[in-house]
Amino acid sequence: MTVTADRQVSRLTSPWVRGLAAAAAGALPALAFPAPSLWWLAYVALVPWILLARSAPTGRRAALDGWLGGAGFMLAVHHWLFPSLNVFIVVLALLLGTFWAPWGWLLRRTLGGSPDARHVAAALVLAPCGWLMVELARSWQYLGGPWGLLGASQWQVAPALRLASIGGVWLISALVVAVNTAVAALIAAPSVRAPAGAALAAVAVGTTAVWLGAPVPERTGTVRVAVVQPGVIEGAQQRFDREEELTRTLVGQRVDLVVWGESSVGFDLSSRPDLADRLATLAREVDADVLVNVDAERADGRGISKTSVLVGADGVTGESYDKMRLVPFGEYIPFRSMLGWATSVGKAAGEDRRRGDHPVIMTAGQLRFGPLVCFESAFPDMSRKLVDSGAQLLVAESSTSSFQGSWAPPQHASLAALRAAETWRPMVHATLTGVSAVYDGRGRPVGSWLGTSAGKAAVYQVPLSEGRSPYVRFGDWVPHLALLLVVVAAGYEVSLRVRRSARRSR
């Protein structure tokens, strides 16, 4: 089997053909995410990429395979941005793909040639650790954020969600890469089956043990949350009118909180007291606070911000939250003096949004909830900190109206399942145009999604839960452990090369 595989790879003699093969292999895992949602594919999708990198004739070529595969992966999971960024998305993919270059080199170093049991064992540990280092680096908000983390493809798999409560999405990513590495090792080195077989058995046993034995959140009651999704409507005033109309249908339904999507109010409420009064009237009629999101030039001249504002029966409550982590190029342009030309080739932000500087816990009646805005639901640390600060419910206001018909809306909605499972807190993902979704504290869906064709107000009976999940308690221990192992391995590699150099010089 390995002879056949190596022969196929060896035929990729042309650097261009090999480069295209690396990019295609890197793009394959994107099919595991929504909308295709071929979640099972994630456990073997990296195998072609791993086999290609391990067969590279030199370490430099393996690094190039890692880079081009990473670019293919980034382009595939962000392909829906092409209408907005045009050719600039290719430039970004190539830049971010460089993070996978060391990973490609690592695969050749551990699995290249005819690896023995020691090298296979090293690959089974270091390949997942190296992948996590890539995910951790590219998750920095200024580099695009944690969209498309491999573990996020398992958002609807119950055992994986239980793992998320232990080590976050990072633990799922590590196990998925470990499985792929073990399968690749079985193909590349069938004579050394013990380490790969042991790794697969350990993943299966460990995941089953966590699924059956890990602690779960304790249910404490329920809260009724209404999501108002108006659909695609042109014009800020027309959108507000439609949201008001839909919210009024909730009268008499005994809701505790009404949530509108991101950019649901296109006017600064301090300069439009008439709209603030209409929202207060709605809150009185529905007998519940209304959480809106203002996307408008501030009356005080401090620029545009994405601000979540809570409105009660007496008007704006004074509780508000400014979005802290902005979408690169969508809401601001990094190094605008150098990269401002991006506005000429796509729909990049013409003006930078104003960034918030602290999270906020809001209170609606007896309910304490933590608001997030759109892109922020992708960041595990933000929801963890909100729960650690006392949030009983996580609420993400979002809008993907620019990407209707693409993979973006369902993939974005799926992230709330992971945040809920990680923190043991239910999460509401409310959008302007779909997909809107609600999950309980185990990451299980509550009711049905509101798809991109829906325009309605829906009420969800959301179960509340309490307790601190291991992930909330211990934080990002998985990537920190991975970093330690990578540093130790790098130190060993350096010392080994020094000893070899010393022997040669004698």
Instruction: Quick: pLDDT tens for 106-125.
Output: 999 999 999 999 999 999 99
Amino acid 3: pLDDT: 47
- Provide the token pair at 432: 């302007």
Q: Measured between alpha carbons, how far is 329 from 352 in angstroms, rounded to an integer? A: 9
What are the beta bridge partners of residue 312?
Answer: 315
Amino acid at residue number 415: L
Count of beta carbons in the 10 Å neighbourhood of residue 371: 28
Amino acid 447: pLDDT: 92
Amino acid 338: pLDDT: 60
Amino acid 8: pLDDT: 53
As a whole number of Å, the CA-based R_g of the chain is 24
Give the burial class of 3: count Cβ atoms within 10 A of its Cβ; 0-12 exposed, 13-18 middle, 19 or more buried: exposed
Do 320 and 307 contact (CB within 8 A), yes or no?
Answer: yes
CA 345 to chain centroid, in Å, comes to: 26
Q: Measured between alpha carbons, how far is 343 from 167 in angstroms, rounded to an integer? A: 39
Place of tokens 């996020």: 152
Rounding to the nearest 10 degrees, give the CA dihedral for residues 182, 183, 188, 190. 90
Tens of pLDDT, residues 100-111 = 999 999 999 999
Count of beta carbons in the 10 Å neighbourhood of residue 472: 20
Tens of pLDDT, residues 37-86 = 999 999 999 999 999 999 999 999 999 999 999 999 999 999 988 887 78
Q: At what angle do helices 47-54 and 158-188 cross, to 10 degrees?
A: 30
- Please confirm whether the linkage preceding 486 is cis (ω < 30° from 0): no
Q: What is the b/e burial string over 327-350, where b = at least 16 CB atoms within 10 angstroms of the residue's CB?
A: bbbbbbbeeeeeeeebbeebebbe
Closest CA to 341 of 86, 52, 82, 115: 86
- Please confirm whether the linkage preceding 93 is cis (ω < 30° from 0): no
Amino acid 335: pLDDT: 60
Do 172 and 124 contact (CB within 8 A), yes or no?
Answer: no
Ordered by start, the domain boundaries in the chain are 2-214+476-505, 221-324+359-465
**pLDDT band, very low/low/confident/very high, at 461 (cuts 50, 70, 90):** very high
- Provide the token pair at 158: 């119950």
Lowest mean pLDDT among 192-201, 255-264, 375-384, 467-476: 192-201
Tens of pLDDT, residues 341-369 = 566 556 666 667 788 889 999 999 999 99
Amino acid 37: pLDDT: 94
Place of tokens 């602690």: 215
Q: 504 pLDDT exceeds 60?
A: yes
Amino acid 348: pLDDT: 61
Place of tokens 């270091």: 126
Average pLDDT, the chain: 91
Amino acid 142: pLDDT: 84
Classify domain 221-324+359-465 by CATH number: 3.60.110.10
Q: At what angle do helices 2-10 and 47-54 cross, to 10 degrees?
A: 70
Tens of pLDDT, residues 291-326 = 999 998 887 767 788 899 999 999 999 889 999 998
Q: What SS3 class is residue 447? A: coil
Q: Measured between alpha carbons, how far is 474 from 408 in angstroms, rounded to an integer? A: 31
Closest CA to 247 of 293, 277, 291: 291
Closest CA to 227 of 418, 392, 426: 426
Question: Sheet holding 257-260: strands in order across?
Answer: 315-322, 304-312, 289-297, 257-260, 218-229, 456-466
